[in-house]
């Protein structure tokens, strides 16, 4: 199914999906490589990825820097990314707007930091440090959270907007993360989408999650990457494609419970269909204006 000529659809590289990806390369426009899993990889594994990068555009995706923090990013972590980027020559790299450690404590995952002016200033300083070392600024991904971040004085779109504007970088908009945060904290996902700094979006992540029970009996949506994206996330993608003119690169993320690749391929087709519907709507809205 055709989308706008400049929109691209890809998938996160996972060793478990390697055979399917290699067999369906003509169906995939771009591969996103989980950078941290290659920082200390054997030379042979990196060489294989470099060879793959000659066949298909690749991007690097980091998870361990903890850029959204008042604490200075650890330089060796950034240098790992710089070395890998130097070898693999990706077209871009990305990291999360999260903190993952503080005061010697490793949280072990991407935690939403206090959404405040001082945290945003710390994030911008860290992004600039990372950009100086790697050579280019990262695209920045919004994270899902089960907890309303304590100490927040800004709402999520204002906090993200202040960072991407000050750092002059792009937003990697994870639509399932956005959907989860909207559902967990009683906001309309479409309103939350509209409030995001959409002019900065170049890349999109799509994934699935599952509902979990809170102690109070309420339910919250956990971003889990083991399921197909729910239809509401495709609706968000369609709205996004209708709202912005910039070409989008959409990456499907899957971290386990891998289905047959035919299921993955069907999801890639569904992404193309949602993009095409959004682009068509944009054309119709433009014609009507």
Partner 1 sequence: MSSPAFEAFLARLYTDEDLRLRYLASPGAVCRESKLSNEERIALETIDRDGLILAARSYARKRRSTCSLDELSLGKRHRRAAGRHEER
201 binds partner 1 per the rule CB under 8 A = no
Q: Is 118 in the site for partner 1 (CB under 8 A)?
A: yes
53 lies in the binding site for partner 1 (CB under 8 A): no
In the bound state with partner 1, the residue whose beta carbon lies nearer, of 56 and 146, is 146
Tell me which of 55, 148, 188, 269 binds partner 1, using CB under 8 A.
Answer: 148
Regarding 166 and contact with partner 1 (CB under 8 A), the answer is no
Pairing of strands 30-34, 8-12: parallel
Measured N-to-C along each axis, helices 261-288 and 231-243 cross at an angle, to the nearest 10 degrees, of 40
Q: Is there binding between residue 181 and partner 1 (CB under 8 A)?
A: no
If one asks whether residue 36 binds partner 1 (CB under 8 A), the answer comes out as yes
**What DSSP string describes 84-139?**
HHHHH--SEEEEES-EEEETTEEEEEEEPPP-SHHHHHHHHHHHHHHHHHHSSPPE
User: Is residue 186 close enough to count as binding partner 1 by CB under 8 A?
Assistant: no
Q: Give the span between the Cα atoms of 43 and 157, in whole angstroms.
A: 41
Give yes or no for a contact between 111 and 150, defined as CB atoms under 8 angstroms apart.
no
State the Cα–Cα distance between residues 93 and 191, nearest whole angstrom. 28
Whether the CB-CB separation of 193 and 210 falls below 8 Å is answered with no
User: In terms of C-beta density within 10 A (0-12 exposed, 13-18 middle, 19 or more buried), how is residue 72 classed?
Assistant: exposed
Q: Which one of 85-93, 94-102, 232-240, 263-271 is the stretch in contact with partner 1 (CB under 8 A)? A: 94-102
Q: Is 100 in the site for partner 1 (CB under 8 A)?
A: yes
Give the tokens for residue 178.
């956005």
Q: Is 127 in the site for partner 1 (CB under 8 A)?
A: no
Verify binding: residue 42, partner 1, rule CB under 8 A.
yes
**CB closer to partner 1 out of 27 and 187:** 187
Residue from 17, 27, 41, 198 touching partner 1 (CB under 8 A): that is 41
Among 5, 26, 51, 109, binds partner 1 (CB under 8 A): 109
Kindly tell me which residue out of 1, 107, 191, 263 binds partner 1, with binding defined by CB under 8 A: 107
- If binding is defined by CB under 8 A, does position 48 make contact with partner 1? no
Q: Which of 112, 107, 108, 109 is nearest to 97 (CA)?
A: 112
Residue with tokens 């990372």: 130
Q: Identify which range of 5-13, 139-147, 162-170, 196-204 contacts partner 1 by CB under 8 A.
A: 139-147
How far are the Cα atoms of 26, 83, 84, 232 from residue 263, in angstroms, in the given order? 16, 35, 31, 18
Minimum separation from the CB atom of position 80 to partner 1 (A):
7
- Give CA–CA dist 242/206, Å, rounded: 17
Q: Is 122 in the site for partner 1 (CB under 8 A)?
A: yes
Q: Which of residues 219-278 bind partner 1 (CB under 8 A)?
A: 220, 222
Residues interacting with partner 1, by CB under 8 A? 34, 36-45, 63-64, 69-71, 77, 80, 99-109, 111, 113-114, 116, 118-119, 122, 145-148, 150-153, 184, 212, 214-216, 218, 220, 222
């Amino acid at each position: 199914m055709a989308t706008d000529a400049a929109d691209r659809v890809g998938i996160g590289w996972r060793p478990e999906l390697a055979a399917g990806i290699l067999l369906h390369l003509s169906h995939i426009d771009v591969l996103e490589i989980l950078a941290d899993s290659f920082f200390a990889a054997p030379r042979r594994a990196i060489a294989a990825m470099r060879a793959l990068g000659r066949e298909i555009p690749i991007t690097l995706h980091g998870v361990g820097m903890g850029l959204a923090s008042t604490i200075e990013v650890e330089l060796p972590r950034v240098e790992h990314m710089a070395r890998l980027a130097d070898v693999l020559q990706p077209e871009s790299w990305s990291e999360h707007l999260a903190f993952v450690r503080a005061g010697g404590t490793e949280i072990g995952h991407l935690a939403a930091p206090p959404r405040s002016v001082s945290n945003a200033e710390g994030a911008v300083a860290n992004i600039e440090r990372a950009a100086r070392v790697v050579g280019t600024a990262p695209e920045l991904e919004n994270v899902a959270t089960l907890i309303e971040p304590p100490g927040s004085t800004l709402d999520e779109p204002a906090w993200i907007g202040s960072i991407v504007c000050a750092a002059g970088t792009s937003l990697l908009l994870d639509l399932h993360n956005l959907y989860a945060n909207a559902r967990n904290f009683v906001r309309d996902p479409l309103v939350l989408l509209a409030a995001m700094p959409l002019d900065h979006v170049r890349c999109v992540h799509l994934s699935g999650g599952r509902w979990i029970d809170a102690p109070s009996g309420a339910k919250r949506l956990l971003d889990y990457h083991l399921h197909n994206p729910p239809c509401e996330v495709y609706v968000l993608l369609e709205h996004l494609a209708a709202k912005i003119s910039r070409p989008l690169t959409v990456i499907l993320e899957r971290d386990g419970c891998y289905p047959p690749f035919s299921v993955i391929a069907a999801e890639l087709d569904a992404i193309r269909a949602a993009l095409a519907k959004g682009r068509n709507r944009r054309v119709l809205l433009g014609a009507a204006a």
